[in-house]
Amino acid sequence: MTSLTLPAAPVRDILERAFAEDAPSGDITSQLLIPAEARATAVLNARVPGVFSGGTVFRDAMKLVDPDTDVELLIADGETFDAGTHLARVSGSARSVLLAERVALNLVQRMCAIATKTAEFVERAGGTKARITDTRKTTPGLRVLERYAVRCGGGANHRYSLSDAVLAKDNHLAVMTGGDPARLTTLLAAAKAQLGHTTHFEVEVDSAEQIEPVLAAGVDTIMLDNFTIEELRAGVKQVDGRAIVEASGNVNLGTVAEIAAAGVDVISIGGLTHSVAALDLGLDVELRAG
C-alpha cells in the first residue's frame, strides 16, 4: 500500500476553518445545558462495514478544541472493519467533546466512505496491472484529506493540482490546433521540448485516430477517454508499450473489471471523491457528573 501519512499543517488549517464555521462563538447549546465540570466518554462506532481513514483527523479535531481530551484510536487507517466495531474512544470535558463532535464526524465519515469505495474498485480490478486512481474532482478545501482516503483504500493519486504535471485535454487540443488535427504532433512535441525532464506529459484522446499523432510527440501517458471495451483493447495494442495507457470515463463498479482486463495501466475515477455518501458512523456519548 502507498504511504499513509497526512501533513499536519494543512490538516490543522482545515480543522481551524471548520470550527470557525461551525462554532464561531462557541457552542451555546452545551454552554447553556451542560455543567462546566461535566465529563464525557464517547465511542466512535461503525454502523456499517468499511475501510478506516481519518483516525488522526478525528483525534486532532477533538484535541484542537481541548488539548486535554484523551483520544484512543482502536483501528489503523487502511484497516477494514465490520458493523459494530469500535473505532476510537474519547474522554474529556463534555462540552469539548460535544463541540468537536460534528466536525470530527463529518470528516471521518467522508474519509471512510472514500476509502471504502476505493477498496471496492481495487478489489474488482484485482488480478490485473491496472492502478485505480482519483482525479481532481474533489471537495474544494478537502483535497488533501480525500486523496489520503483514496490511498487508505488501496488506490493511488493522480496529479495533485494543475501545477504538478501537464495533462492536455480535449479543450486544450482544440484551442492549440485551431481545429487542424494535422498540427497535433508538431505542437505537442514543441510543447514537450519546453518542459524539464522531470515533468510528466499526459494527453487525453477521444478517438483512435488521435493515438498515433499523440504518441509521435513522445508523450509519457495517453488517456483513452470514454472508449468502449473493444476500443480500449485495440488502443492498448496500438500503443504497444510506447506510453502509459490510462482509461477514463464510464467507469463504475460494473465496468471496472472489464476495463482493467483490457490491459490499461491506470484507471482514473472521479466518483471516488465527487459523489460518495458519508459512511454511517456514530459517536455514542455517555455523560457523567463531575
Q: Indicate whether 158 pLDDT > 50.
A: yes
Report residue 140 as a C-alpha cell.
474544494
The strand pairing partners of 223, in sequence order, are 204, 246
Helix and strand element counts for the chain (H, E): 11, 12
Over residues 74-84, mean pLDDT: 98
Measured between its terminal Cα atoms, the distance across the chain in Å is: 45
Q: Answer for the pair 89, 255: CB distance below 8 angstroms, yes or no.
A: no
CB atoms within 10 A of CB 250: 14
Over residues 1-15, mean pLDDT: 87
Residue 230 known to be catalytic = no
Backbone angles phi, psi at 225, to 5 degrees: -100, 125
List the chain domain ranges: 8-122+276-288, 124-274
Query: Residue 98: which of 32, 12, 52 has the closest Cα?
Result: 32
- Which residues touch 277 (CB under 8 Å, ≥6 apart)? 113
CB atoms within 10 A of CB 78: 19
How far is the CA of 255 from the CAs of 88, 135, 248, 260, in angstroms? 36, 18, 11, 9
Q: Indicate whether 33 pLDDT > 80.
A: yes
Average pLDDT in the chain: 95
Which residue among the candidates 169, 192, 233, 242 is catalytic per the annotation? 169
Q: Does pTM surpass 0.75?
A: yes
Q: Indicate whether 285 pLDDT > 90.
A: no
Which residue among the candidates 39, 89, 136, 137 is catalytic per the annotation? 137
What percentage of the chain exceeds 90 in pLDDT? 93
**Beta strands 201-205; 166-168: pairing state:** parallel
Question: By three-state DSSP, how is residue 80 classified?
Answer: strand
Angstrom distance (rounded) from CA 254 to CA 268: 15
Over residues 100-116, mean pLDDT: 98
Residue 192 known to be catalytic = no
Angstrom distance (rounded) from CA 6 to CA 148: 7
Predicted confidence at residue 287, as pLDDT, reads: 53
Angstrom distance (rounded) from CA 129 to CA 266: 8
Which residue among the candidates 225, 231, 258, 280 is catalytic per the annotation? 225
Residue 89 known to be catalytic = no
Q: Indicate whether 151 pLDDT > 80.
A: yes
Predicted confidence at residue 286, as pLDDT, reads: 75
Dihedral-angle region of residue 99 (phi above 0 means left; psi in -120 to 50 means alpha; beta otherwise): alpha
- Quick: pLDDT tens for 80-96: 999 999 999 999 999 99
Q: What is the CATH number of domain 124-274?
A: 3.20.20.70
The strand pairing partners of 286, in sequence order, are 41
- Quick: pLDDT tens for 221-232: 999 999 999 999
Fold annotation for 8-122+276-288: Aldehyde Oxidoreductase; domain 3 (3.90.1170)
Residue 169 known to be catalytic = yes
Over residues 65-69, mean pLDDT: 98
Q: Answer for the pair 158, 2: CB distance below 8 angstroms, yes or no.
A: no
Over residues 98-123, mean pLDDT: 98
Predicted confidence at residue 3, as pLDDT, reads: 64
The helix or strand, by DSSP H or E, that contains position 288, with its residue range, turns out to be strand 281-288
- Quick: pLDDT tens for 41-58: 999 999 999 999 999 999
How far is the CA of 83 from the CAs of 55, 103, 109, 124, 217, in angstroms? 17, 22, 14, 22, 52
Q: Indicate whether 207 pLDDT > 70.
A: yes
Report residue 182 as a C-alpha cell.
494535422
Which residue among the candidates 27, 60, 204, 246 is catalytic per the annotation? 204
Confidence band of 290 (pLDDT split at 50, 70, 90): very low
Which residue among the candidates 39, 66, 79, 102 is catalytic per the annotation? 102
Residue 237 known to be catalytic = no
Over residues 104-126, mean pLDDT: 98
